[in-house]
Amino acid sequence: MLLDAKPPKPKKAIRKYVLLAVAVVIVGGLTYYAFHNYPEEAVIKEFLTQVQKGNYQQAYRIWQPSREYTYQDFMHDWGPQGDYGKIANFVIVHTQSEGSREVVVSVRINNEDPPLDLVVDRKTKGIAYSPF
């Protein structure tokens, strides 16, 4: 008789907690995925906003150039007579992590295609042209 007893059904409260835990893990994972590259996107937004405003010295500091990339080089690329001319608008179209140290941020500037790929170093937040 004792061996014929049916096992007790799990309580509804336990099932609710399990479902809640699964939902929290899923939402947490999606949030992490969506905002993982947010700091690097913010650096690019700030950089391009400074270029757009004509604050080239500030934009150059945000870029954190190497010794080989002079201010004259920077102005040739990003100044009013640069590759994109005066920046009227920009939009980040995609970000992608490249290993643990770099994030490639694809930006459409002045509605031109293809988008420009810039690399942001996760640690220093320095910017460079993408070799990828």
* Local confidence pLDDT in tens for the 132 residues of the chain: 556 777 766 677 788 888 888 888 888 777 777 678 899 999 999 999 999 999 999 999 999 988 899 999 999 999 999 888 899 999 999 999 888 899 999 999 999 999 999 999 999 999 999 886
Q: Are 119 and 102 in contact (CB under 8 A)?
A: yes
Cα 113 from chain centroid? Answer: 20
What residue has token string 């899923």?
A: 26
DSSP β-bridge partners for residue 129: 118
Angle at 74 between CA 49 and CA 111, to 5 degrees: 45
Residue 41 class from Cβ within 10 Å (0-12 exposed, 13-18 middle, 19+ buried)?
A: middle
